[in-house]
Amino acid sequence: MLQLHRFTLIVSGLALVACVFLYSTLGVAKPFHLWKWTDIVSEGGTAVMAGSWVLFTLSSRPGGLVTRLLAGGLAMIMIGSFADCMDEFYAISKTARWDHWLEALVPLGMLFVTCGMYYWRHEQFRLNEHLQKRERLFRDHRAFDRITQLANADYLRRQIKHEQAHRPGQQCALVLLDIDGFHRINREFGQREGDRVLQAVGHMLLLNLRNDDLLCRYAGDRFALLMPDTSVTEAEALARHLSAMVGQMRHHAKDGRVHISVRHATAAASTAPDELLAQLSRDLALQAEQRAAGAVA
């Protein structure tokens, strides 16, 4: 990860070297007995800690606004504290302004870090909301689908039974979504690209769901969406929205853009899981036949 931030690391290192050069050439070295060890340890320690935090930040985050604000602010605190520490070794003329400007980097860096933490807070809220949509899966510690990291068909069946047993009489809907022409994508672009399409569609669907909805990979190129406290009409509206979102995706492979679309079938989750899933699969197959007939006509 640090390789992504090589420029930031080089600039920070050069800034420290420049500080040493400025103080050693424009200042007068203080005799040893005038060194204040308490200030040296506190100011130098602050610089070392801030530098460590810069490395921790850059080694754990990709580039972006939050990373730039956090790492930039910490780097300013490091350089300003280092300049404060150099004051203990070199006497600088009171008329020199550059020394004061360097020391002023500490409060400026704190302002940058504060702004970075503000945006980081909003970033975490979005991530937490995204993860909450997978909460059922995490809480149950079931196996993930290897490709999409979603729950599998067995887990879906158990959740349908759970909803029917623990919330009898409550509305619950199930949507089955099928990627159109997925075999063609595998044939033209290869299985690896087909796996990337499954991952991309899974992420797109997950980002557009409510927190209580459960998204699973049912089989092959099919995804299942279980929606508690949802009528069939509401589920159908959401399924159309999801289909539209997937249709607007811009997925690019090495050999060109991959056009992706999905069709869907919706039903109330009121019957046995196998019977319910079989009926939805038949509805999807019928839609495929009707589209093929329409294309021929």
Quick count: other Cβ atoms within 10 Å of Cβ 240?
12
- Say what the pLDDT of residue 297 is: 53
For 169-180, write each residue's pLDDT tens digit. 789 999 999 998
More confident residue, 257 or 78: 78
Average pLDDT of the residues in 146-167: 87
CA-CA distance, 279 to 297, in Å (whole number)?
27
- Say what the pLDDT of residue 136 is: 55
The 3-state DSSP class for residue 227 equals strand
The 3-state DSSP class for residue 297 equals coil
Q: Of all helices (H) and strands (E), which one includes residue 222?
A: strand 222-228
Percent pLDDT > 70 in the chain is 91
Architecture of the domain spanning 142-296: 2-Layer Sandwich (3.30)
And the tokens for 68? 């730039």
Average pLDDT of the residues in 87-100: 82
What is this structure's pTM? Answer: 0.54
CA-CA distance, 172 to 281, in Å (whole number)?
18
Average pLDDT of the residues in 227-248: 91
- Say what the pLDDT of residue 52 is: 92
Rama region for 256: left / alpha / beta (φ>0; ψ in -120 to 50; rest): left
More confident residue, 141 or 23: 23
Q: Is the pLDDT of residue 4 over 70?
A: no
Report residue 10's pLDDT band, with 50, 70 and 90 as the boundaries: confident
Average pLDDT of the residues in 154-161: 90
Strands 262-268 and 172-179: antiparallel
For 37-90, write each residue's pLDDT tens digit. 898 899 889 999 999 998 888 888 877 888 889 999 999 999 999 988 988 888
- Say what the pLDDT of residue 141 is: 47
Enumerate the domain spans of the chain: 2-132, 142-296
